[in-house]
Structure 1
Amino acid sequence: MNILIIGAGNMGGTYAKSFLASHFATPEELFILEKYPVSQKQFPELLQNNIHQQPGDFIGEADIVVIAVKPQDYTALYPAILPFIHAEQIMLSIMAGVSLATLSSTLSVPKVVRAMPNLPAQIGMGMTVFSCSPDLSRKELFIIQNLLNATGKSLYVEEEKLIDAATAVSGSGPAYVYYFMNAMIKAGVELGFTPAQAELLVNQTFMGSVHLQNRNGLTCEELMKRVASRGGTTEAAFNVFNGHNLETEIMDGLFGAFKRSVELGR
Structure 2
Amino acid sequence: MRVLIIGFGNMGQTYASSFISSGFVSPSDILVLNRRDVEKKKRFSIDKSNFYTEFVQPVFDVDIIVLAVKPQDFLSLAHSIKPFMTEEHIVLSVMAGISIQAIQDNLNMNKVVRSMPNIPTQIGQGMTVFCASTNIDRKDLFIVQNLINTTGKSLYVDKEELINAATAVSGSGPAYVYYFMNAMVESAIELGFSKSEAEFLVGQTFSGAVQLQNRSNESHQDWIDKVSSKGGTTEAAIEVFNNLKVKKAIDFGVKSANYRAKELGK
Note whether the superposition's TM-score is higher than 0.5: yes
Figure out how many residues of one structure are paired with residues of the other and give that number.
266
Q: Is the 8 A contact 1:59 1:84 kept in 2?
A: no
Cross-structure match for 1:56: 56
Match in the other structure for 1:212: 212
TM-superposed CA distance for 1:59, in Å, is: 3.4
For 2:15 and 2:33, locate their aligned partners in 1 and report how far apart those are by CA, in whole Å: 13
Query: What amino acid is aligned across from residue 186 of structure 1 in structure 2?
Result: E
In structure 2, what is the Cα distance between the partners aligned to 1:234 and 1:112? 48
Cα offset, 1:188, TM superposition: 0.4
Report the AA paired with residue 84 of structure 2.
Answer: F
Q: Is there any run of 5+ residues in structure 1 with no aligned partner, and where? A: none
1:195-222 deviation digits (Å, cap 9, x = unpaired): 0000000000000000000001110000
1:25 Cα offset (Å): 1.1
Q: Is the 8 A contact 1:115 1:163 kept in 2?
A: yes
**Regions of 4+ moved over 4 Å:** none
5+ residue gaps, structure 2, are none
Give TM-score, length-normalised by structure 1. Answer: 0.98
Residue 126 (structure 2) pairs with residue 126 (structure 1): yes
SS, match of residue 28 in structure 2: coil
Letter in 2 for 1:109: M
SS of equivalent residue, structure 1 residue 115: strand
Aligned position for 1:186:
186
Q: What is the match of residue 92 of structure 1?
A: 92
Which residue is equivalent to 1:221?
A: 221
CA–CA separation in structure 2 for the residues paired with 1:40 and 1:122? 15
CA offsets per residue over residues 152-191 of structure 1, 9 Å max, x none?
A: 0000000000000000000000000000000000000000
Partner of residue 150, structure 2: 150
Q: Distance in 1 between matches of 2:135 and 2:219?
A: 38
Q: Which amino acid aligns with 1:86?
A: T
User: Which residue matches 2:237?
Assistant: 237
String of CA shifts for 1:126-152, please: whole Å, max 9, x gaps: 000000001111100100110000000
Where in structure 2 are the equivalents of 1:40-51 lying within 5 Å? Answer: 42-51=42-51
* Paired AA for residue 231 in structure 1: G
Which residue of structure 2 aligns with residue 70 of structure 1? 70
* Aligned 1:1-80 pairs, distance under 5 A: 1-39=1-39, 42-80=42-80
- C-alpha deviations, 1:212-239, integer Å up to 9, x for none? 0000111000000000111110111011
1:41-83 CA-to-partner distances (Å, cap 9, x unmatched) read 5443011110011111123311000000010111111101111
3-state DSSP of counterpart to 1:188: helix
Aligned to 2:250: 250
Q: Equivalent pairs: percent with the same residue?
A: 51
2-structure distance, mates of 1:36, 1:84: 20
